[in-house]
Each structure stands twice: as C-alpha cells, then as structure tokens.
C-alpha cells in the first residue's frame, strides 16, 4: 500500500476531548468494530461484492475490452462517454487524474490519444458545445446505462444517433455507437441488439457507483490509454489492506469507525478536500459514493433512521480562501479529509533574486507550497478543535489512484455497517426517476403524474422583479410596482398605433404587449384611463383613424369598459370620475387634436385633470416630446413607467449599450425619411455598417447626384443626407446604399395591385419611374453584410412590402437577419411596419427581440434617456 493515512487530528489528544475521539474508545468498541468488519467480510464472501473482485479480473475478460478500446483509440479523434452518475464519474475522475489537465486542448501529437469528453448532463448548451468542437466523422460515442432505462442517457442517445445518421448515413452511424448496459435488460439493450451496435455488458448486482472497475469504466479508460493493469494492481493492494481485521492496519475500517463516532456527536458533514487539481474530481467520486450509499431512510431492521453524512467537495488551496473560514469557526458539524501529493508530475520553482519583500517565497517549489498550505489549514482546524485527517499519495499514477478509489469504496461499505444500513440500493433516486417518467408522460405513470400535479400547488414563491432596470436606461424611475394604484384614476399612455388593412388590425403585437400593464392596473384596483395615438390624422375626427377597433379588440377581456369619442371633453372627465376600481375608460385618438404633437400646455393640463397618476407604457413614442408622453408629467404628481416600457428599456439598454457585440449592422428603410434621417448621424457614429433601403434611400441617391425620377425624395433633407455620407467617410463606417432598384410607373393602387416593374441600376432610373424596392444586386450585397453581423438593428422595410412584387428586398433582408440570428447574432427589429414585415416573411420567431418602438429604438442608441422616460418620477 503506497497511500499514507494520518488520523491523529481525529483524536482527543490532538483536538481536545469535547469533539475528539479517545484512543481508549477504540479499545472499548473493539467488539462492535469487529462485528461490523465481519458483517462486511461475510457478506462479501457469501454474495460477493463484485467491486472488490473486479480488479482480479481474468485477462481474457479484460482483453476484449482492451482490444476494442485500443482500436477506437487508433481511429478516433474524439471519444465521448454519455452517462450520468456512476456511469460517468469513475471514468471522469480517473481520466481527469491521469491525463494532462488541458488534455482536450492539446495538439493531437501531444495528446497521443483521442480527446475525451464525459457528458454527464443533458444541458442542451453543453451538448451543443461538444458538437461544435467535435468532428463527427472521427467521433465515437459510448452510451452507458446499467438499467438501459435512464431517461437522461436515452435522450442523449436519441439526439446523437439522429445527428450521426444525418451526417454519416445509417450504416456508418451505427459503427460510431457503443452501448454499455446490462445484458438482456432494459430498452437500450434491445435497441442495441436490433440496430447492431457494439455492446459491452455490465455485471448485474453492481450499483453504478461501485462499477468503475467494470466495463463501465474500463472501455473509456482503455481508449484514454490508461494503464489498467497498474490501476488494478493498486486496487488489489488496497483491497488486501481493507480486508485486514486489525483496525490499525485497515485504513477504510478506521476511517469509517472515526466518521461514525464523529457522526454520533453531530458531525453530519464530511468534507473531501484534495490539494491537487488532478484529484479534484476524486472528491466528486467520493461524494457520490458517500452520499448515495449512506443517505437512507430505513436501517436494515426497518427502523426509520433518516441517516447519512452530507459530503462536501472542496479543493485546496482554492477553497481555503472561500470555505475554510467556515470550517474553522462555524458549527462543529464537519469532518474534513485532506488529500495531499508528495511529488507532483510537474514542478515549478519560484524565481529568486528579484524582490527583497518576497524572499520567503523565492526558491520554493509550487508543489511544496501547496503542501504547506494544506498543513497550515490542518493546523488551523486542529487548533480550533475541528476533526480532520489526511491521506498522502506519494505521487499520482494508476497505482495510487487504484488504491484511493478502492479505499473510498471500502470506507463507504464499512460506514454502512456501522450505521446498519444497506449501501447498495438507492430507493430515493428511484422515486425521482419515476417522477421524471411521470412528468414526461410515460405510460403506466399516470397516477403518479396526477399526484405530482396535485403537489405542485405554489404556496410560497419568491420571484425577482420581472424587469430589472439597468443603470443609464430608465435610471431610478418609479414603476407601477412602486406605487399604490388602488382607487386612483390612472391615465395609461399606450401605443396602440398598429398596422391596419381594410379597416382591420393586421398585427396585434403592440396591443398584446400592452396587456400586462393594463391587467396589472385592473387587478390592483386602479381606475384605468387608456389613451393612445393612431397614425397621422390631419386635424379633427376622421373615421379611418379611430381607435375604436383597437378598444374593441381588448374589451372582451375586461369587465366594465367605456369608450369615449372625444378624449378632451367634459364627458371624458365625468366618465373618468365615475369609474369604479378595476374599470376601464378608453379614449379616442389623441392626435385628433393637433395640440398633442405640439405638446400644448393647456392640452397637457386637460389630460392631467383626468387622473391622479400617469403611466407611460408607450415605448414607441417615448422619443417624442408630445403632450401625452412628455408634457403631461409636469402637471401630475406621480408619473411612472409601465411594464412594457421597462422591458423595452432594459432589453435595448443591455443589447445596444456600450458593450454591444460587433460587427454591428444597422438597417434603415421605410418611408418616413424625415423621421429617421435625424438618427442616421448617430448610427454612422456607432455602427460598423449602415444599410439604407426603402423610400429614404432615394433622398441619399439624389444627394449623391443620381436622378431618381418620381421616387420618394425629401428635398429639404438633401443636406442632411450629404452630411451623413461625409460623416460615414470620416468615421470609416460602411454606408451601403442600393446599387439597383425595382421601379414602376406609379405607386400601386390599391396597394396589392400587380404592376409591371423593371430592375434597373441606380444610374438608370428613368424620369417617369418610381423606385419601390431595392434590386437583386443590392439584395445580395446587403445580405452578405448582414450575415457577418453580431448585432443587428433593423427599422424600416426595404420597399413597398405590402405589395408582393416589391416585398422581395424586404424578404431577402428578413431572411438574412434571421440566419445571422440563428448563428448567434442579436437582432432587434423595431417599427410597426418592420415588425409586420418580419411576420409576413415568417421570420418573426427567429428574431431576438421585436421592439414596439422603431424610431425610439434608434434613438435609444444615442445613450441619452428618451424624453418620455426622463420625465417620469424618480425613485427615492
């Protein structure tokens, strides 16, 4: 036996008699110790613990595994073990201990053996991360499940077999799969037989956590080039020591006894703390063995005991700076096991002669320093009366690892004997397995599923604020959650400016997004007065700009609901005053009054007179200094943010803030040239590329000297367009304008009318033609640029997308944005028409965030607070 065990600091002589165990007690307990020893030996001899006999395996049994492992090692670049718990931890802890600590990132030559991945979880991100680095053609997968029924492993199998089949074809795919399971048992065995996968058998009556020396661990170890004979020789040495009836010679029996005694005085936690990176996962192996074997409800006589020590994994010296404070001064509820290594495989000497102040460090070896740290921690614990002991490995190799793991397993079964429980079952885990099956809807589990559902009542749930406000954006503004709205008249400014076609709402997104705030106010007993604008009426009422259809679209969800045709009238005021808690008054389009956009003071006062509290939830207009967004706040005591406003501000603040990911491509289009041209300067400053399409492109083309025929041009913005072009040059930002366009004789009427068109270069636009979409060449240039992006902001369609003939440019751009997003970019689409275009192109689900604000999201980029947000009351 090469390992050294020092139990001194478990003894009363060392840590004091309150917590320490007196040597005399060992003598006193002699008989019961021997009884436990005998129980384990008898049981082993009768039923056989296979874990103790496995290292004595016949060569012939080992050879088939070794040969197969060698073959895989030669032909594969990556070997993946898929399993969970005991099916994975053995191979994981040994390969981690034995291979270079950055094994998988070493060059092939230095590695010598395949990259080894042990996938012991079903986290989709982890599996995706593996598939991103593994070349599937030279990757082999070993699925390990003893029962052949472990849902996690089966799920991995289905996912990976599917990928393999798609990549390699079915026949080739089969050769990349190896199944390790119990012969003749379980679903995976059947499937493996039927598909003709290579199968390795797991002996029955061998729980996963004791299976490391069976085919479960051996195949991966063989692939990884581990010296299994040496591993077994270490295991055999320790096996002999652990069969010694003399407790002073049997380290596992001694350790179990001392742990047991400690547990009787309330030491319910067992910390495993190796001082070597290579042994880090050994602590996991230990924790699984100790936790799963010993944590039990019933003892062997059927008494309810609810017993077991909680294993804790720690790593020296790292956790010395995060945990040891607790171990030294916290409750007396732990036993700490230190594991040290005398000689590291690599050694680094601290250089000397440089700084006088660090003389005490100079010339020291890092390995020695680590050992000093361990001794220091042990000293501190001992001084504080804390039980601890130490295991020393002369070095880390197969031999000592074989010893250590065998010691862990024996220590566990001896502890089970002291506790009088069965270490080989895991009834608690089976319960959760069955529950998972029930939740997955597996047949035969229906009753359990019902029971789980009944238990799923939520009685005490604490959830974080749905929206957390980032500094800089919405900084410290009050929200509807910060105030009491009960019984108050609340004027809620929404953005119900939705696309309407033939008198019907064609996209409900903005309305849908406004509902959480409305519901919140209603449920909290506010008297809710909803106001909004819609489109751009000239002055006075016009039927086609009425908000009636928007009001009707939500009326059904709420109780009492009134609509008022004149938003600024005595009727509206009286209605507002008469509202009961939880009732809604919906006001007609505010823009029927030109004072709204002018931010007229009298108008603001009239709006304010209707309410006690003002809520802004209209992100899409928060960049405007309009009466119902901005001016009103001066005349209301309390002005707060709604939930949608917060959500938008938070998302955009995060994604478009100073740390946005580059390349950042901004795509601007649509018809409202004068609306957007203002932010273009800012975009050119911030984006790596700015793509300009849609109606506004023609103002730019004209500014550059092209003839644009009857296309949409805003003559008074030609100067701005020129300065944007100059600025882009100066800043080195790419400014992409269409190289060709689709033109027609006139604007389609009705909008969906099929019209003749030409695809012409921008230098060939005839005087009687009108540009209605970008052209084919432009599409491909724009799309190439978009696909390179990591952050994309898109506002404004590329053409008159309402007409199928002129929707192509928009469609191409939409697809490119979606593709970039699939590849990991963050995409933000803002603007009512742009959002509708994304839906029409069928890409809306693939966009990261569809913002309810077009212009607002563009202005957000400037980093300034939007006026409608700035005007809200500050949080105290």
Catalytic hit among 672, 676, 717, 742: 672
The window from 361-369, 452-460, 645-653, 826-834 that contacts ligand ADP (CB under 6 A) reads 826-834
- 37 or 534: CB nearest Mg ion: 534
Task: From 223, 208, 193, select the one nearest 145 (Cα to Cα).
Answer: 208
Burial class (CB within 10 angstroms; exposed 0-12, middle 13-18, buried 19+) of 789: buried
Active site residue 832: yes
Among the listed residues 186, 402, 537, 831, the single contact to ligand ADP using CB under 6 A: 831
Q: Which does 423 bind (CB under 5 to 8 A by kind): Mg ion, ligand ADP, none?
A: none
Q: Which does 743 bind (CB under 5 to 8 A by kind): ligand ADP, Mg ion, none?
A: none
Q: CB of residue 552 vs ligand ADP: minimum separation in angstroms?
A: 23
Catalytic hit among 316, 830, 855, 868: 855
The window from 35-43, 447-455, 462-470, 664-672 that contacts ligand ADP (CB under 6 A) reads 664-672
Q: CB of residue 649 vs ligand ADP: minimum separation in angstroms?
A: 19
Cβ–Cβ < 8 Å for 523, 584: no
Q: Which does 771 bind (CB under 5 to 8 A by kind): ligand ADP, Mg ion, none?
A: ligand ADP
The window from 34-42, 536-544, 790-798, 817-825 that contacts ligand ADP (CB under 6 A) reads 790-798
Q: Which does 807 bind (CB under 5 to 8 A by kind): ligand ADP, Mg ion, none?
A: none
Q: Is the peptide bond before 591 cis (omega within 30 degrees of 0)?
A: no
Q: CB of residue 540 vs Mg ion: minimum separation in angstroms?
A: 22
Radius of gyration of the chain (CA): 36
* Bridge partners for 11 per DSSP: 21
d(Cα 699, Cα 701) in Å, to the nearest integer? Answer: 6
**Helix or strand (DSSP H, E) at 59:** helix 59-75
Q: Is the peptide bond before 750 cis (omega within 30 degrees of 0)?
A: yes
How, if at all, do strands 734-736 and 689-692 pair? Answer: parallel
The window from 345-353, 635-643, 647-655, 791-799 that contacts ligand ADP (CB under 6 A) reads 791-799
Q: Which does 772 bind (CB under 5 to 8 A by kind): ligand ADP, Mg ion, none?
A: ligand ADP
How far, CA to CA in Å, does 281 sit from each of 287, 363, 811?
10, 30, 52
Active site residue 510: yes
Catalytic hit among 111, 209, 296, 510: 510
Q: Tell me the site size for ligand ADP, rule CB under 6 A.
A: 19
Handedness of CA 9, 10, 14, 16 (dihedral sign): positive
- 499 or 868: CB nearest Mg ion: 499
For residue 100, the tally of other CB atoms under 10 A from its CB is 14
Active site residue 38: no
- 641 or 667: CB nearest Mg ion: 667
Q: CB of residue 632 vs ligand ADP: minimum separation in angstroms?
A: 24
Q: CB of residue 671 vs ligand ADP: minimum separation in angstroms?
A: 3
d(Cα 830, Cα 856) in Å, to the nearest integer? Answer: 8
Handedness of CA 405, 407, 409, 411 (dihedral sign): negative
Q: CB of residue 609 vs ligand ADP: minimum separation in angstroms?
A: 33
Task: Show the site string, 793-812: x = touches ligand ADP by CB under 6 A, - = not.
Answer: --xxx-xx-x----------
Among the listed residues 834, 840, 851, 857, the single contact to ligand ADP using CB under 6 A: 834
The window from 97-105, 111-119, 726-734, 831-839 that contacts ligand ADP (CB under 6 A) reads 831-839
Query: Residues 197 to 236: which contact ligand ADP by CB under 6 A?
Result: none
Burial class (CB within 10 angstroms; exposed 0-12, middle 13-18, buried 19+) of 580: exposed
Handedness of CA 765, 769, 772, 777 (dihedral sign): negative
In the bound state, the residue with its beta carbon closest to Mg ion is: 833
Query: Residues 829 to 858: which contact Mg ion by CB under 5 A?
Result: 832-833
Q: Which does 796 bind (CB under 5 to 8 A by kind): Mg ion, ligand ADP, none?
A: ligand ADP
Nearest 5°: CA angle at 680, between 768 and 872? 125
d(Cα 665, Cα 330) in Å, to the nearest integer? Answer: 54
Q: What is the DSSP letter of 493?
A: E
Among the listed residues 582, 670, 748, 868, the single contact to ligand ADP using CB under 6 A: 670
The window from 188-196, 317-325, 426-434, 825-833 that contacts Mg ion (CB under 5 A) reads 825-833
Query: Residues 136 to 165: which contact ligand ADP by CB under 6 A?
Result: none
- 208 or 797: CB nearest Mg ion: 797
Q: What is the DSSP letter of 479?
A: B
Q: CB of residue 619 vs Mg ion: minimum separation in angstroms?
A: 15
Contacts of 148 (CB under 8 A, 6+ apart): 181, 182, 185, 186, 187, 188, 189, 190
Cβ–Cβ < 8 Å for 378, 9: yes
Among the listed residues 671, 685, 759, 761, the single contact to ligand ADP using CB under 6 A: 671
Task: Show the site string, 679-718: x = touches ligand ADP by CB under 6 A, - = not.
Answer: ---------------xx----------------x------
* Bridge partners for 339 per DSSP: 274, 391
Cβ–Cβ < 8 Å for 337, 9: no
- 69 or 499: CB nearest ligand ADP: 499
Q: Which does 802 bind (CB under 5 to 8 A by kind): ligand ADP, Mg ion, none?
A: ligand ADP
Place of tokens 């939705």: 498
d(Cα 800, Cα 806) in Å, to the nearest integer? Answer: 5
d(Cα 770, Cα 709) in Å, to the nearest integer? Answer: 6
Burial class (CB within 10 angstroms; exposed 0-12, middle 13-18, buried 19+) of 123: exposed
The window from 75-83, 299-307, 639-647, 827-835 that contacts Mg ion (CB under 5 A) reads 827-835
Query: Residues 741 to 780: which contact ligand ADP by CB under 6 A?
Result: 771-772
The gap between the terminal CA atoms of the chain, to the nearest Å, is: 69
**Residue 738 binds ligand ADP (CB under 6 A):** no
Cβ–Cβ < 8 Å for 518, 492: yes
Length of the chain: 876
Q: Give the SS3 label for residue 7.
A: coil
Q: What is the DSSP letter of 56?
A: G
Catalytic hit among 20, 832, 853, 868: 832
Q: CB of residue 835 vs ligand ADP: minimum separation in angstroms?
A: 7
Backbone angles phi, psi at 350, to 5 degrees: -75, 125
Q: Which does 514 bind (CB under 5 to 8 A by kind): ligand ADP, Mg ion, none?
A: none
Q: Is the peptide bond before 139 cis (omega within 30 degrees of 0)?
A: no
Cβ–Cβ < 8 Å for 388, 337: yes
How far, CA to CA in Å, does 437 sit from each of 292, 621, 686?
20, 49, 51
- 477 or 623: CB nearest Mg ion: 623
d(Cα 606, Cα 101) in Å, to the nearest integer? Answer: 72
- 140 or 806: CB nearest Mg ion: 806
Cα torsion 14, 15, 16, 19 to 10°: value is: -130
The window from 32-40, 346-354, 529-537, 789-797 that contacts ligand ADP (CB under 6 A) reads 789-797
Active site residue 710: no
The window from 95-103, 151-159, 654-662, 825-833 that contacts ligand ADP (CB under 6 A) reads 825-833
Among the listed residues 208, 854, 867, 868, the single contact to ligand ADP using CB under 6 A: 854
Interface positions with Mg ion (CB under 5 A):
832-833
Which positions are annotated as active-site residues? Answer: 510, 672, 832, 855
Interface positions with ligand ADP (CB under 6 A):
670-672, 694-695, 712, 771-772, 795-797, 799-800, 802, 831-834, 854
């Amino acid at each position: 036996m090469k390992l050294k065990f020092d139990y001194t600091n478990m003894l009363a002589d060392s840590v004091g008699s309150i917590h320490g165990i007196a040597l005399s007690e060992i003598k006193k307990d002699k008989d019961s110790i021997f009884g436990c020893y005998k129980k384990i030996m008898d049981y082993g001899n009768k039923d056989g613990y296979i874990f103790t006999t496995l290292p004595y395996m016949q060569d012939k049994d080992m050879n088939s595994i070794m040969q197969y492992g060698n073959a895989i090692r030669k032909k594969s670049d990556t070997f993946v073990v898929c399993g969970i718990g005991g099916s994975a931890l053995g191979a994981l802890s040994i390969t981690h201990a034995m291979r270079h600590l950055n094994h998988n990132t070493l060059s092939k030559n230095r590695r010598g053996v395949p990259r080894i991945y042990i996938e012991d979880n079903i986290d989709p991100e982890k599996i995706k991360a593996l598939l991103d680095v593994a070349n599937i053609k030279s990757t082999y997968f070993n699925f390990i499940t003893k029962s052949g029924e472990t849902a996690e492993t089966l799920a991995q199998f289905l996912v990976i077999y599917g990928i393999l089949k798609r990549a390699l074809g079915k026949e080739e795919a089969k050769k990349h799969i190896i199944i390790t399971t119990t012969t003749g048992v379980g679903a995976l065995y059947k499937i493996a037989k039927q598909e003709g996968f290579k199968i390795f058998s797991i002996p029955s009556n061998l729980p996963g956590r004791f299976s490391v020396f069976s085919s479960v661990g051996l195949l991966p170890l063989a692939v990884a080039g581990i010296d299994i004979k040496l591993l077994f020789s270490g295991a055999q040495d320790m096996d002999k020591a652990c069969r010694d009836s003399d407790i002073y010679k049997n380290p596992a029996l001694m350790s179990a006894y001392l742990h047991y005694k400690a547990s009787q005085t309330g030491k319910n936690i067992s910390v495993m703390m190796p001082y070597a990176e290579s042994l880090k996962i050994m602590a996991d192996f230990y924790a699984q063995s100790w936790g799963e074997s010993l944590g039990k409800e019933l003892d062997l006589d059927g008494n309810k005991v609810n017993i077991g020590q909680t294993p804790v994994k720690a790593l020296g010296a790292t956790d010395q700076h995060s945990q040891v404070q607790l171990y030294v001064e916290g409750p007396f509820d732990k036993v700490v096991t230190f594991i040290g290594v005398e000689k590291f495989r690599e050694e680094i000497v601290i250089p000397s002669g440089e700084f006088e102040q660090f003389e005490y460090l100079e010339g020291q070896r890092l390995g020695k320093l680590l050992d000093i740290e361990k001794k220091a921690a042990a000293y501190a614990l001992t001084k504080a009366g804390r039980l601890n002991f130490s295991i020393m490995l002369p070095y880390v190799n197969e031999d000592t690892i074989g010893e250590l793991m065998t010691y862990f397993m024996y220590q566990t079964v001896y502890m089970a004997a002291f506790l009088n429980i069965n270490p080989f079952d895991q009834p608690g885990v089976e319960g959760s397995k069955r529950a998972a099956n029930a939740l997955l809807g597996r047949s035969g589990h229906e009753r359990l599923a019902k029971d789980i559902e009944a238990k799923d009542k939520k009685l005490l749930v604490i959830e974080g604020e749905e929206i957390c406000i980032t500094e800089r954006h919405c900084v410290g503004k009050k929200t509807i959650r910060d105030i009491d709205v009960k019984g108050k008249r609340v004027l809620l400014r929404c953005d119900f400016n939705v696309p309407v076609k033939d008198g019907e709402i064609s996209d409900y997104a903005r309305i849908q997004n406004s509902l959480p705030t409305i519901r919140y106010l209603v449920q909290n007993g506010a008297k809710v007065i909803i106001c909004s604008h819609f489109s751009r009426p000239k002055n006075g009422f016009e039927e086609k700009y009425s908000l009636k259809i928007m009001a009707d679209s939500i009326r059904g969800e709420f109780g009492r609901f009134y609509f008022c045709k004149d938003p600024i009238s005595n009727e509206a005021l009286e209605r507002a005053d008469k509202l009961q808690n939880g009732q809604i008054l919906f006001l007609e389009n505010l823009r029927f009054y030109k004072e709204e956009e002018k931010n007229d003071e009298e108008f603001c006062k009239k709006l304010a007179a209707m309410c006690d509290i003002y809520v802004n939830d209209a992100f899409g207009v928060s960049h405007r200094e309009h009466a119902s967004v901005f001016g009103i706040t001066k005349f209301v005591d309390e002005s707060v943010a709604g939930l949608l406003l917060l959500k938008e501000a938070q998302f955009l603040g995060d994604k478009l803030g100073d740390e946005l990911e580059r390349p950042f491509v901004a795509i601007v289009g649509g018809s409202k040239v004068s609306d957007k041209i203002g932010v273009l300067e800012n975009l050119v400053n911030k984006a790596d590329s700015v793509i300009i399409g849609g109606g506004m492109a023609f103002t730019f083309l004209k500014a550059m000297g092209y003839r644009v025929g009857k296309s949409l041009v805003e003559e008074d913005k030609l100067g701005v367009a020129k300065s944007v072009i100059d600025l882009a040059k100066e800043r080195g930002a790419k400014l992409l304008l269409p190289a060709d366009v689709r033109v027609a004789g006139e604007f389609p009427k009705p909008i969906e009318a099929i019209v003749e068109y030409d695809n012409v270069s921008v230098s060939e636009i005839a005087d009687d033609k009108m540009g209605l979409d970008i052209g084919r060449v432009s599409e491909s240039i724009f799309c190439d640029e978009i696909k390179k992006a990591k952050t994309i902001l898109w506002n404004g369609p590329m053409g008159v997308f309402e007409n199928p003939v002129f929707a192509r440019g928009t469609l191409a751009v939409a697809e490119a944005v979606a593709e970039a997003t699939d590849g990991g970019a963050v995409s933000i689409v803002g603007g009512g028409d742009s959002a509708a275009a994304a839906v029409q192109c069928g890409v809306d689900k693939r966009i990261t965030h569809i913002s309810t604000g077009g212009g607002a999201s563009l202005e957000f980029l400037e980093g300034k607070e939007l006026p409608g947000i700035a005007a809200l009351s500050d949080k105290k």
